[in-house]
Amino acid sequence: MNTNTDFAACIVRFLTQYLPHERNVSSNTIASYKTAFVLYIKYMKSECGVDVSKLKLEHLTRASILGFLKWLLMKQNNTPATCNYRLAALHSFVHYLKYEAIDRLDEWQRILSIKPSKAEVKGLNYLSQEGIKLLLSQPDVTTWKGRRHLAILSLMYDTGARVQEIADLTVGCVRLEHEPYSIKIFGKGRKTRIVPLAREQVVILRQYMEENGLLNTNNVSEPLFFNTRHEKLTREGVSYILKTYADLARIHSPSLIPQRISCHSIRHSRAMHLLQANVNLVYIRDILGHVSIQTTEIYARADSKAKRDALEKSYAKLTPDLNTPRKWEKNKDLLEWLMALKK
């Protein structure tokens, strides 16, 4: 990369030194930040006429970033949530610049004062247990590819793992030697968590690993799930697998498989099913790898079945029974008298 400008030089140091070594940021976060900068550079060239070779820190202003966010929203059709992700990347860069280019401190403060947009709060998109069962019945287990896909989808559901976490799994992450069976998952912020595996899941996973020669201790660093070139699957590859079988399942029962489904929908499904099985929120938090219990509480707020059950348990009967005859109805003379009033 051409680092002749101060902007380019700072971007390089920010991505290659500051984030990975000083902040210990994960490679996935760095990749997301890179995307934000690529889009910003594209915006500055197409909308402001500033080529990357001439882009300097003086071009990084509150006005240019506000214009960039508007461009993302109006011309790139990004959602407010996506725009907020891009803004977060730029904010992180500007925090870094506060110590690298202190002569522009006033401008950095103006940029940091830009508030994220209020994104529309959408309901959780998850499948019922019947929907998950239908989805997992779609892979053709008479083929190698079908068995691999069943292992991927069932493990994704059983662990509630994010799509990138599934793609990053290696053979060494799996513990099937003795009970309790578990798997080590590397989550956001390079945090790891140990998630227990159900016996049914272990049967599927062990058969898959045995078939592909992955039970050998020499393969601990090999990817757990790989493509035909023996390369680890990408998040796009895992998402494609899910979409393929979701489309097949939807043909059988459109009501069970929503039109909008993603790998995160499977994660949401697992969390909701654990909650409905009365698993403590603290355990669900640990399984999902949430930092705060408040993040996990969204499932409790979204679970209409749990709300209904709680209301039914606390319900005190105050209304009259419409099927019970009223005392005055037994008085035929009164009824005859009332009927006579109509004449």
Residues 47-81: pLDDT tens digits? 999 999 999 999 999 999 999 999 999 999 998 98
Does residue 46 carry a pLDDT above 90?
yes
Does residue 296 carry a pLDDT above 90?
no
- What whole-number percentage of the chain has pLDDT above 90? 64
Least Cα distance to 223 among 121, 283, 309, 152 occurs for 152
Buried (b) or exposed (e) across 145-165, using 16+ Cβ within 10 A? eebbbbbbbbbbbbbbbbbbb
Does residue 1 carry a pLDDT above 80?
no
Does residue 308 carry a pLDDT above 80?
no
Buried (b) or exposed (e) across 66-97, using 16+ Cβ within 10 A? eebbebbeeeeebeeebbbbbbebbbbbbebb
Question: What is the Cα–Cα distance from 273 to 226, expressed in whole angstroms?
Answer: 29
CATH number for domain 129-307, candidates 3.40.50.1820, 1.10.10.10, 1.10.443.10, 2.30.42.10? 1.10.443.10
Give the pLDDT score at 123: 65
Q: Which residue has the tokens 């009501």?
A: 255
Q: What is the DSSP letter of 18?
A: I
Least Cα distance to 320 among 329, 333, 308, 309 occurs for 329
Q: In angstroms, how far is the first alpha carbon of the chain from the final one?
A: 99
Residues 126-149: pLDDT tens digits? 899 999 999 999 999 999 999 999
Least Cα distance to 96 among 214, 12, 193 occurs for 12
What are the extents of the domains in the chain? 6-112, 129-307
- CATH class of the domain at 6-112: mainly alpha
- CB-based contact 226:177 (threshold 8 Å): no
What average pLDDT does the segment 75-104 reach?
Answer: 94
Give the pLDDT score at 219: 84
Is the pTM above the cut of 0.75? no
